[in-house]
Amino acid sequence: MGGSEPEFTMFVATVIVSVLLAALLGFAAIRKLSHRDPVVREYAELGVPENRLNLLAGLLLAGAAGLILGLAVAPLGVAAAIGVLCYFIGAVVVHIRAHDAKHLPVPLTYAALAVAALVLRLASS
């Protein structure tokens, strides 16, 4: 980094959004890995079988790791943010197809955070 104040501020914002999103992804992954009855039922109502929860959790953990490592290696952060965004676009589609408006704000929020992480990572590179 060149050391200018706007560049530093942009990088700090990138760190905050990336760490927040990574933490939320970790929480979502742990929830899926728990295989607790309410979690399994919620995903079954969306048409997602229980045997897919570990795979989905793995994708979330990979995204979280990529966001954190991407703070040091910008292209990795960009790739992780794109991957997380794609994951949550898919989640939005699943919720819409299942007519699940009640839970739709959750993947929309994650998608918005992924967009923010992507834009900030690109701007602070």
Q: What is the pLDDT of residue 1?
A: 47
pTM of the model: 0.93
Q: Say how many CA atoms lie within 13 Å of 53 toward its Cβ.
A: 21
Q: What is the pLDDT of residue 125?
A: 79
Least confidently predicted of 3-12, 70-79, 84-93:
3-12
Indicate the burial class of 104 (C-beta count within 10 angstroms; 0-12, 13-18, 19 or more).
middle
Query: Residue 66: is its pLDDT beyond 90?
Result: yes
The closest alpha carbon to 68, from 125, 12, 123, 18, belongs to: 18
**CA distance linking residue 86 with residue 96, whole number of Å:** 15
Per cent of the chain over pLDDT 70 is: 98
For 79-87, what is the mean pLDDT?
Answer: 98
CB 116 within 8 A of CB 88: no
Segment 25-59, tens digit of pLDDT: 999 999 999 999 999 999 999 999 999 999 999 99
